[in-house]
Structure 1
Amino acid sequence: MDYENIYIEEENNLAIITINRPNKLNALNQRTIEELHVAFKELDEDSEIKAIIITGSGEKAFVAGADISEFANFSVKEGRQLAAMGQKNLFNLVENLSTPVIAAINGFALGGGLELAMACHFRVASSNARMGLPEVSLGVIPGYGGTQRLPQLIGKGRAMELILTAGMIDADKAFAYGLVNHVVAQEELLTLCVKIAGRISKNSTVAIKHAIKAVNAGFRYDADGYATEIEAFGHCFGTDDFKEGTSAFLEKRQADFPGS
């Protein structure tokens, strides 16, 4: 696929996806969602890529929401389809990706932008970042998983207040709430994310895949997180990565995981 609204850089088992619509503050339109869907699928299937960072171009915005002009005149049916397809093709895809995804929030993360960041496995923010779900100020609600993931991350009461007031919080409050893992100066944002990704890439990709699945199962209404963990734990014992990891530990050397 020829990308118009994103670009990808790959180096040292790491891929960095940058959403590049600076004139729209990197707002998510349907083309961008489609491009991100393809990019995440392809990177997840690439055995050389062990971590993914997603960020926005420029210094103002990660993603400043969805592109409202695309759906301002939608019908009820079209609105429902918009949310369903967006969740299926991007937000749920990212959350359940086998490859860890880090959101590098470099500015405004509003509406669909914050929903995209919350779908990632964890988040790092620059000190100038601002986050919120302003949808009710437009007469609609968050439709890309925001009403579900925000309470999971910061608690029901805080999520209710943020959603119902359509307010924004700064990076420090997001850190205090547990919405982001780290806050750094903007010039240090990608450096820290790359450092964390490098630590991830040294570990077993097979074990990481199962860990992501088990953690996510604990937040699903139709899954038993403990049962998923037990099954995944047992499965790991039959992998080459487990054999290598335990052998390396006993032999007091660095593991070289084959990824199988």
Structure 2
Amino acid sequence: MIFNASRFSSITNVLRRFVSSEQSLKELIVEPLTGKDSGILILGLNRVKQKNAISKNLLDSLENAIEKVNNDNTVRVVIIRSYVPRVFCAGADLKERLTMTEADVRIFVNRIRKFMTSLENVKAPVISAIDGAALGGGLEMALATDIRVASENAKIGLVETSLAIIPGAGGTQRLPRIIGVARAKELIFTARILSGREAEEFGIVNYCVPTNEENDGAFIKSLQIARLIQKNGPVGVRMSKLAINKGCDTNLNGGCLVEELCYSQVIPTRDRIEGLKAFQEKGNLYTKENNILTRVTM
């Protein structure tokens, strides 16, 4: 697939014009794309003055958005991005945190941790477009997504130890699972901040792309990836994600049993039958299956 930067830039310009009206006042902009991009949903962080710091209100909006995504089988892919220049998410809203009692802090941190797990388990694939700083809870949010793309000017790190605390939204667990225990310990103990390129070298992000004038290079790449996912069978994609997520929580034999259960969900679908026909006829893959999936309990 040839990457046409100008073509994608025109799309992001349209998105900017759209969110410049009434939606620009919202802390979270939920934008389902249409036309050939139907099935791709954009969640845009938009707390400008607070650099997308996670407050109670923003967390409310994120929780509601994720719940709606899980109840909407037309959503094929989710992209989390920022509409604040040079920032993805600066982490927790520490000014709000100062107003909380110790009991309130425990409750709120537990709530954020629970949300990150919900984000990780969204049925559809989720991509983080990191066009700027993703620090503390901002990086923890990205770690809970399936694919991460960063621009070269991104600043990425779990910096909590510099504030005399620890990552509390799953960072101490997800980072070592992604890059290995030794490297995760180094980054967390030192509170080191990485560039986008360094984060790619560490294996934290899947891709690092050049920073462009519009500061949306990571989003453009994320949209390109989302389109590749969107054209595939939605039931197969969702079941693949479930098999990987649940299988990685157990040993190989247990994981293969998870795979067996997930495969059983795609056998009766029209997607599978039409996909086999398309392969035989060298045609296009059938991707219109939107029936409610059978719940798999594991």
TM range (shorter): over 0.9
Find the aligned partners of 1:101 and 1:258 in 2 and give their Cα distance: 20
- In the TM superposition, 1:165-180 aligns within 5 A as 165-180=190-205
TM-aligned CA distance change 1:73 to 1:222, over 3 Å = farther
1:216 alignment counterpart: 245
Find the aligned partners of 1:199 and 1:254 in 2 and give their Cα distance: 13
> Do 1:175 and 1:182's aligned partners in 2 also have CA atoms closer than 8 Å?
yes
The alignment partner of 1:231 has SS state of: helix
Find the aligned partners of 2:255 and 2:273 in 1 and give their Cα distance: 25
Find the aligned partners of 1:200 and 1:178 in 2 and give their Cα distance: 21
Find the aligned partners of 1:138 and 1:218 in 2 and give their Cα distance: 35
> Do 1:26 and 1:57's aligned partners in 2 also have CA atoms closer than 8 Å?
no
Residues 1:8 and 2:24 are matched in the alignment? no
Residues 1:109 and 2:139 are matched in the alignment? no
2:266 counterpart letter in structure 1: C
Deviating more after overlay: 74-83 vs 184-193: 74-83
Residues 1:253 and 2:283 are matched in the alignment? yes
> Do 1:216 and 1:225's aligned partners in 2 also have CA atoms closer than 8 Å?
no
Q: Identity percentage over the alignment? A: 35
Residues 1:198 and 2:227 are matched in the alignment? yes
The alignment partner of 2:98 has SS state of: coil
Structure 1 gap segments, 5+ residues each: none
> Do 1:124 and 1:181's aligned partners in 2 also have CA atoms closer than 8 Å?
yes
Find the aligned partners of 2:45 and 2:251 in 1 and give their Cα distance: 33
CA drift of 1:74 comes to 4.2
- How many residues align? The count is 258
Q: 1:16-53 CA distances to partner (integer Å, 9 max, x unpaired)?
A: 11100121111111111110111122233333321111
1:69 counterpart letter in structure 2: K
Please tell me the root mean square deviation across aligned C-alpha atoms, in Å. 2.0
Find the aligned partners of 1:218 and 1:48 in 2 and give their Cα distance: 25
Of the three residues 38, 48, 52, the one matched with 1:26 is 52
2:169 counterpart letter in structure 1: Y
> Do 1:98 and 1:208's aligned partners in 2 also have CA atoms closer than 8 Å?
no
1:164 alignment counterpart: 189
Q: Normalising to structure 1: TM-score of the pair?
A: 0.92
Q: Normalising to structure 2: TM-score of the pair?
A: 0.81
Residues 1:69 and 2:91 are matched in the alignment? no
Deviating more after overlay: 63-72 vs 120-129: 63-72
Find the aligned partners of 2:188 and 2:247 in 1 and give their Cα distance: 24
> Do 1:123 and 1:181's aligned partners in 2 also have CA atoms closer than 8 Å?
yes
1:58 alignment counterpart: 84
1:235 alignment counterpart: 265
